[in-house]
Amino acid sequence: MLDLEFVRGQFPAFAEPSLEGWAFFENAGGSYTCQPVIDRLTRFYHQRKVQPYAPFPASEAAGAEMDEARMRLAALLGVETEELSFGPSTTQNTYVLAQAFRKFMQPGEAIVVTNQDHEANSGPWRRLAEEGIEIREWKIDPETGHLDPAALEKLLDEKVRLVCFPHCSNVVGEINPVAEITALAHAAGAFACVDGVSFAPHGFPDVGELGCDIYLFSAYKTFGPHQGIMVMRRALAEALPNQAHFFNGDTLYKKFTPAGPDHAQVAACAGMVDYVEALAAHQGVAPGAVAGLMHAHEVQLMQPLLDFLGSRNSVRLLGPKSAENRAPTVAVALQGPAEPVARRLANHKVMAGGSNFYAVRPLQAMGIDPDDGVLRLSFTHYTSPEEVDQLIAALDREL
Ligand SMILES: Cc1ncc(COP(=O)(O)O)c(C=O)c1O
């Protein structure tokens, strides 16, 4: 069982007087930051804030810490160090990737996109239609938001080069079977690109085991600084055209990140691994087992919330009603705009959001006006049962 006291002790936000009493339920927007990340950022700015990789000690320490972050994160994710890169955000990373595919693909070839994705893993790919690339949409069930792998099979043929889909949608919350979907894509001769932004905060996955060719997530939602993290497996990375300076094209981790990186934040990403390892050591498990502990805790807290929302006739719960195959990103459509309700929850010291959360396509597909948006209640493994009680009590008053 997850030791919640230990977990919360790793997040200064829980000891911050100005946040005392506030229950945080907008974690899918961005999580609290863990202490090791803050410590590394502070140390970097105090001791190492110079151009890295130059031959003097402060610079060597800066470069070494950036390398350490890449190496340890790659190991945690089950991929090679060279296969992991940092970019300003996931949106920026997919944009650059789409430019690479723009050159790599021929007119008449096809890409599969979903209408379950956040726009970041959808719009940049759809724009390749301007180049004569055929865009095929893998559609969700309009009632539940579910993405059915059997429906994907019907879209696949020898023209498809790439299948883009989310590990988990930021409004539906259902966890998609990435390994199974990737196997379908591969069997058809296509690559698989997975948006892991909504999933990764609930346990860093073994990307090597999932088998996908691209896996993206955002460190500011996984207890870290504001960076996008991208895994691209070697075979695809070597095949795609360089998007960086011409002389950097042979270095895989530079090839698809043309922006100059934020050195301090890249280095501080090592703190996310410090956290996972410290938690694993405290719990007496391997770092890879931390995800299971997080999930079990989240499922336990989520089911009462799902049951409460499911029992309310005035709201429409999106995604599965059972917590087991879900991330704790729980969105409900109301009978009007969601933002004012989120605002009223703040009167109960509940932090939540009401918006379309850039999931405009999924909301439209489910018949929800993106201008009304949804009320989203999202938490992570550091959330306590008392905070869920506080949320449910507030919802009971305001819904
Ligand atoms: C599922 C999902 N994908 C992609 C993104 C975009 O990530 P970033 O803000 O790093 O561009 C978000 C951001 O909210 C998201 O929720």
Q: Give the model confidence (pLDDT) of 358-381 as tens digits.
A: 999 999 999 999 999 999 999 999
Say if residue 216 is exposed, middle or buried (CB neighbours under 10 Å; 0-12, 13-18, 19+).
buried
Backbone phi, then psi, for 316, in 5-degree steps?
Answer: -115, 115
pLDDT at 345: 98
User: And the tokens for 337?
Assistant: 């705009």
* Mean pLDDT value of segment 300-321: 97
The amino acid present at 29, given as its one-letter code, is G
Task: Tell me if 221 CB under 6 Å of ligand 1.
Answer: no
Q: How confident is the model at residue 174 (pLDDT cuts 50, 70, 90)?
A: very high
State the closest ligand 1 atom to the C-alpha of 218, by its place in the atom list counted from 1: 10
State the Cα–Cα distance between residues 275 and 34, nearest whole angstrom: 7
Residue 40: pLDDT over 90: yes
Residue 217 alpha carbon to ligand 1 centre in Å: 7
In the beta sheet, which residues pair with residue 113?
137
The CA 175 to ligand 1 mean position distance, Å, reads: 16
* 226-277 per-position pLDDT tens digit: 999 999 999 999 999 999 999 999 999 999 999 889 999 999 999 999 999 9
Using an 8 Å Cβ cutoff, are 188 and 333 in contact?
no
pLDDT tier at 308 (50, 70, 90 boundaries)? very high
Question: pTM here?
Answer: 0.98
Torsion angle of the four alpha carbons 246, 248, 254, 256, in this order, in degrees rounded to the nearest 10:
20
Going by pLDDT thresholds of 50, 70 and 90, the confidence category of residue 103 is: very high
Specify the pLDDT at position 269. 98
Kindly report, residue by residue over 146-170, the tens digit of the pLDDT. 999 999 999 999 999 999 999 999 9
Q: In which residue are the tokens 């300076």 written?
A: 245
Query: What SS3 state is found at 174?
Result: strand
Tokens of 193: 């690109």
Using only C-alpha atoms, the chain has a radius of gyration, in whole angstroms, of 21
Instruction: Map tokens 């009603």 to a residue.
Output: 321
Q: How far is the CA of 282 from the centre of ligand 1 (A)?
A: 31
27: tokens are 């974690």
- The per-residue pLDDT for 282 is 98
Distance 379 CA to ligand 1 centre (A): 16
Question: Would you state the pLDDT for residue 259?
Answer: 83
CA of 397 to the centre of ligand 1 (A): 31
- Determine if ligand 1 sits within 6 Å of the CB of residue 201: no
Phi-psi region of 258 (alpha: psi -120 to 50; beta: other; left: phi over 0): alpha
Distance CA 323, CA 149 (A): 20
Torsion of CA 114, 115, 117, 120, to 10 degrees: 90
Q: Using a pLDDT cut of 70, give the percent of the chain over it.
A: 100
Residue of 115, 170, 174 with the most ligand 1 atoms within 8 Å of its CB, for mutation: 170
Whether residue 187 is predicted with pLDDT greater than 90 in this model: the reply is yes
For residue 92, give the ligand 1 atom closest to its CA.
Answer: 11
